[in-house]
Structure 1
């Protein structure tokens, strides 16, 4: 009994010692008042509210990793008149993520990213303070600039953001407040946000290739006079995670009380795929706080084209007299869109008894389609919880039928395609290479070089014994490279079967510490093997649960 107790103490002490917060090279905190360029070879930590102020540009190169500090609600704020220049690459994205250890991350581990601009909003006076407790002012006041330029974000991941500062006063994953159409947004993935994945507070910014993945509240929230164009968007839900306020794919208001203040909220969505939690209409293993694929309410005039909304308890909820009036006057439009797989009789709903929402949606010239089940839409694997694939099959009703003749889709922003939804059934997936559908278990230390060896070239190759050993479930593997080159670091079981490839690619000379989690593996003996052009060595390690 004593030996077992001692062994348990040893294992638990190992967990406490080695499941540490991710290490960083520099902290970003307070005000940034002049141009600042980060270094992709360093890791950064957002501490508290980090404000990039008017006249300053924050440049973030491809491959940079930035952690958000949980205790201080780390948040990056690009204020009016400032810019962000965050340009990743298809095979080398910029990553904002949790500082917590792999396997211990959660929605709301840090604040998120807020961009504030000088475009018009419908709040009287033309300016407002963004929710979330940061005090950030947005909007252009009496002289707004709808072409305002807040910079560029391209090939960027934002993981585990969205912290609740106060009840009903949260920071979203990516908040766009009064941002103008001079700003460029494309290829952005927000994952595990504690509030909305994206929220657009007024403004005119356009965006393409956005992914909302397993957020807690809404996927895409639009309000306060937002009037941008959005194309190629995908949203996927965790079946068990939803917000007590009610989680939706789209949630759209003109403002918080549904006034008719101008400019009206009237975003234009095309080629969106929203996948809810219902694998089939009778599926019951999902959080009851899930609500609607599209909740259009409070005088919004949102319009949706060439899109797929499926697997939500309610497909469309057209809420309130003013939004219904928008549908009746053809200011609010839904065209060439598929709604499927809601609970019985709830694909199309409204609370305005005098309005026949089903007949309106099925108006023949609108070319919309309704299906009782999601399987009839024939997407490849949309409900996969670890590797979703919402590409239409060749015989899917979404494989063709898109239409871009509507004048609202003219002007050069919208790409004319044949398919409905976010993904081309006959082309490459635009979410491959730069996205991550398992950020919970990603080890961001894989790209790091120990500070001790940053300017020192080791004399010889070396693979150290992992520590701790035995371990449960996390251990650290260290090795040194005397010269740069291609490296493989692989874990095998005793049958010689590959368990996980930890590294497979080019590495600079230096010392590397790789943290590996065997959380999902059984106890036993494992081997890890380091291979370079002229060095191959293996060592043993023991997982003891």
Structure 2
């Protein structure tokens, strides 16, 4: 019995100890904090694709708002087409390189384990175009069109060119007629060209040669011929090898079509005419106000960039880049308007005859009498256009003579008006000449009007020639109410130009904050026309870089075949 009592006592003691031990244990852990979702990339489909195509990035924790995700392909940010929490559809961007894909969403960045490969797109087919086509045509961006010889769009027919289309011009050796005319596109009177590019997909006219082999003068250029008046006889032959005669029409509102977001590169080949001539990058012969022309860049022309032969056309947002002869060539009684134009020259490239920014005249050198004042439509009209907000840049440092002449070379009784513009780095700023006394009448009457002009970093600001002395022209230019200004080379830095203004590969023309160019624009009745955009700045730029997206300042490296 004693043994049983002892056993019971031991068992009770062990039970008590167990209860104490159990009671001394910690309370159970609280509910664990959930792990935050992690952004990750699990796959890329397809893993190889060309620029411009779409790929699908699959993973976790993406934002369903496309704008809240950032996708980079080989270090280049891509456009997102659609987004869900597990899939992003993106466009392979231009410039993308082989490498991993990264996604940033919700403050986290994930990188793919595998690399994405940028594939070469298939070569576009090439269609040769020659002669005259008596039919309406549409040229599409999935095909490259190659001009052989002078290609004409005749009266009553229309050529439509899709945004993003590439047109290549051949040299004279490929003229199918064997007459040594280089490839060129000519839209004849009553014909129309509808070339509406976009900032993202400009229409490109360029050399037929491959990247690295292109040169100024590889092909002819683009020509529009309209029914707006010119100051030549109806029997006068069209300029620079274009077939036909002037015919003396008087329809100032004529419509030759639309050119918007268009680049023209490496034009200006010699024409087999006697004497030899060259088309400019864009040549307008009697083009009327019904024609829409804006956002056009002419680069590396072996001749002029833009050439006006009469007409009334109105143009905006023009770029002339590293061309050989004049940037803005004006003749044959042009009486239209233009606003916002910039030219940048290569100081080592020019014409031995003297390249100019503006070159304006009213009649041929063989004529001896001044052309009479402006008339409404037909007859012999005086060249009297209005330009506003242009910037012409030649030498960044002190200019030298030789290949360059004047920022504004105005002769033969022209009555041009130029407002709120900058001439920089030319041997001469303004050169005004006339064989007779008609130019003096232009000055005293205000028919020729130069206001709000800045001549900067020029060797000789003002030159008079012929019937005008330099003193007369200087007195005219310096009249206080004209608000013109001369900035010496030593003070040129005060204009606060952009540090990349004179870059020959990637220029930026926006003036620095505080630049005097951003203020001081003058007003005048000639720029009160509703065509002109009212601005307060002088030169082509305020704070909006209207060259962004659609221009190209390194076309030599472009591969246009895919």
**TM-score normalised according to structure 2 size:** 0.71
Q: In the alignment, which of 414, 419, 423 is matched to residue 300 of structure 1?
A: 414
Q: What is the CA deviation profile of residues 261-289 of structure 1, one whole-angstrom value per residue up to 9, with x for unaligned ones?
A: 5311011000000001x2222x55xx712
Question: Match for residue 461 of structure 2?
Answer: 347
Q: Which runs of 5+ in 1 are unaligned?
A: 1-21, 449-545
SS, match of residue 129 in structure 1: coil
SS, match of residue 130 in structure 1: coil
Give 1:319 shift: 1.1
CA contact (8 A) 1:402 1:419 kept: yes
Q: Does 1:154 align with 2:268?
A: no
Q: Does 1:421 align with 2:542?
A: no
CA distance in 2, matches of 1:342, 1:324: 24
Q: Does 1:313 align with 2:313?
A: no
| 1:139-150 → structure 2 map (5 Å cutoff) | 141=248, 143-150=249-256
Q: Does 1:385 align with 2:504?
A: yes
CA contact (8 A) 1:335 1:368 kept: yes
Q: In the alignment, which of 118, 123, 126 is matched to residue 25 of structure 1?
A: 126
Question: Match for residue 514 of structure 2?
Answer: 395
SS, match of residue 86 in structure 1: strand
Question: Match for residue 102 of structure 1?
Answer: 211
Give 1:359 shift: 2.5
CA contact (8 A) 2:299 2:305 kept: yes
SS, match of residue 199 in structure 1: strand
SS, match of residue 518 in structure 2: coil
Give 1:375 shift: 2.7
Give 1:376 shift: 3.0
Question: Given the superposition, is the C-alpha separation of residues 168 and 332 from structure 1 closer, same or farther in structure 2, using an over 3 Å criterion?
Answer: farther
Whichever of the two has the greater Rg, that structure is: 2
CA contact (8 A) 1:273 1:390 kept: no
Question: Given the superposition, is the C-alpha separation of residues 135 and 291 from structure 1 closer, same or farther in structure 2, using an over 3 Å criterion?
Answer: same
SS, match of residue 432 in structure 1: coil
CA distance in 2, matches of 1:215, 1:23: 29
Q: What is the CA deviation profile of residues 429-488 of structure 1, one whole-angstrom value per residue up to 9, with x for unaligned ones?
A: 10010000011111112xx2xxxxxxxxxxxxxxxxxxxxxxxxxxxxxxxxxxxxxxxx
CA contact (8 A) 1:179 1:205 kept: yes
SS, match of residue 440 in structure 1: helix
SS, match of residue 147 in structure 2: strand
CA distance in 2, matches of 1:225, 1:132: 17
CA contact (8 A) 1:74 1:112 kept: yes
CA contact (8 A) 1:65 1:94 kept: yes
Question: Match for residue 99 of structure 2?
Answer: none
Give 1:180 shift: 0.6
| 1:92-131 → structure 2 map (5 Å cutoff) | 92-125=201-234, 128-131=236-239
CA distance in 1, matches of 2:268, 2:494: 34
CA contact (8 A) 1:116 1:137 kept: no
Question: Given the superposition, is the C-alpha separation of residues 170 and 24 from structure 1 closer, same or farther in structure 2, using an over 3 Å criterion?
Answer: farther
Q: Does 1:232 align with 2:333?
A: no
Deviates more, 1:368-377 or 1:253-262: 253-262
Q: What is the CA deviation profile of residues 218-243 of structure 1, one whole-angstrom value per residue up to 9, with x for unaligned ones?
A: 00000110001000001110111111
Question: Match for residue 260 of structure 1?
Answer: 371
RMSD between aligned alpha carbons?
A: 1.7
Q: In the alignment, which of 158, 163, 170 is matched to residue 69 of structure 1?
A: 170
Q: Does 1:181 align with 2:289?
A: yes
Deviates more, 1:162-171 or 1:29-38: 162-171
Question: Match for residue 446 of structure 2?
Answer: 330
SS, match of residue 333 in structure 2: coil
Question: Match for residue 471 of structure 1?
Answer: none
Q: Does 1:357 align with 2:469?
A: no
CA distance in 1, matches of 2:385, 2:418: 8
SS, match of residue 532 in structure 2: coil
Give 1:325 shift: 2.9
Question: Given the superposition, is the C-alpha separation of residues 229 and 188 from structure 1 closer, same or farther in structure 2, using an over 3 Å criterion?
Answer: same
CA distance in 2, matches of 1:339, 1:154: 31
CA contact (8 A) 1:79 1:136 kept: no
Question: Given the superposition, is the C-alpha separation of residues 168 and 252 from structure 1 closer, same or farther in structure 2, using an over 3 Å criterion?
Answer: farther
CA contact (8 A) 1:318 1:324 kept: no
Give 1:23 shift: 7.5
Question: Match for residue 494 of structure 2?
Answer: 376
CA contact (8 A) 2:483 2:522 kept: no
Question: Given the superposition, is the C-alpha separation of residues 324 and 397 from structure 1 closer, same or farther in structure 2, using an over 3 Å criterion?
Answer: farther
Q: Which runs of 5+ in 2 are unaligned?
A: 1-122, 176-181, 373-379
Question: Match for residue 271 of structure 1?
Answer: 389
CA distance in 2, matches of 1:102, 1:336: 42
CA distance in 1, matches of 2:428, 2:279: 26
Give 1:122 shift: 0.7
Question: Given the superposition, is the C-alpha separation of residues 325 and 355 from structure 1 closer, same or farther in structure 2, using an over 3 Å criterion?
Answer: farther
Give 1:379 shift: 1.3
CA contact (8 A) 2:127 2:146 kept: yes
CA distance in 2, matches of 1:137, 1:28: 24
CA distance in 2, matches of 1:316, 1:354: 10
CA contact (8 A) 1:149 1:181 kept: yes
CA distance in 2, matches of 1:398, 1:324: 30
Q: Does 1:83 align with 2:83?
A: no
